[in-house]
Amino acid sequence: MSNSLIAPHGGELIINLADESEREELQERAQSLPRIEIGSRQLADLEMLASGAYSPLLGFLGREDYLSVVDHMHLSNGLPWSIPITLPVRQEKAAQLKEGEQVALVNSQGELQAVLYLEEKYSYDKRHEAQSVYRTQEEAHPGVKVLYQQGAVLLGGPVRVVALQSQAFAHYRYTPTRSRQLFEARGWKRIVGFQTRNPIHRAHEYIQKCALETVDGLYLHPLVGDTKGDDIPADVRMKCYEVLLENYYPADRVMLGVLPAAMRYAGPREAIFHALMRKNYGCSHFIVGRDHAGVGNYYGTYDAHYIFAEFDPVKLGITPMFFDHTFYCRTCEAMASTKTCPHPQDQHITLSGTRVRQMLQAGEIPPPEFSRPQVARVLIAAMHQSA
């Protein structure tokens, strides 16, 4: 077995962040370039492109790669890639831009974020993308809603990023280059990544520790980009992760970092996308639980497991670790799953998200078999502050 970390997707980290001298040159040049104001999702995409987390992408997808990703979940060169990374604009704005020119991408304050080398502009079928990527055309789906609201023309081409969005959680905001350095410093070769946008309860803790039994280290990597309005805020979640790691995990076997990407809620396709990003961060394995990146009832409970069978494992590179629904069983007197516990459901301690919220709002700590008390106390305090 190799003594080094897993290679990034495509073989090398593609860092699209301009260095200091290039940045000065681009900022000067941008003053005379056409400008496009971009929103929070594209700002997050720029950060991911800048750091190499979206390797092997050089920028926003051109038409050939876009169609290949939407229809076949691969880039046109054959590499797996399941979510289209695009830059949409309104038709009237696109009409003012010429292919072959450079475009300044600015934030809502008008500050330069990146320069796009516009290779092509092209129209696309939003309903087709919705059905292919999200498996639904319903606007009630949060990812589809964003898609339907965005511009009708896509701009494709490489970017050079000159500034990054707000650096919340800077202490944990490791780039793939940095996470790889930290893994190597710890002597880790086999690292399992865990994606989450929720607080971690006993079920998550159980599957993380099951995975950790078989590898060198766990990279707890919560997403802190855009999420749905009713998801628990990232700062509250981070406090939950900190108290959990401090009290229940071995410090030399676990690392906490944040993923600044926006959430798409694309279910199975997003499971592939999340795995490929973690490969770039240096993870050799990736945990996929039930209804990964799902929302509502749009995806089957284990669709995010089944989709991995549609890819060549060698091209994918990262190894998925699948886990079924887990719970505390009174008869087993332990955490278990449907794979390991033979007892009926009335022996399982499971609580709906609604019931947990009701308990926390009432200041009640859920049963210790469901949630660690330290985590519950953080959530109760946050709910009372926002009430």
Catalytic center residues: 197-198
AA identity, residue 239: K
Q: How far apart are CA 343 and CA 284, in angstroms?
A: 34
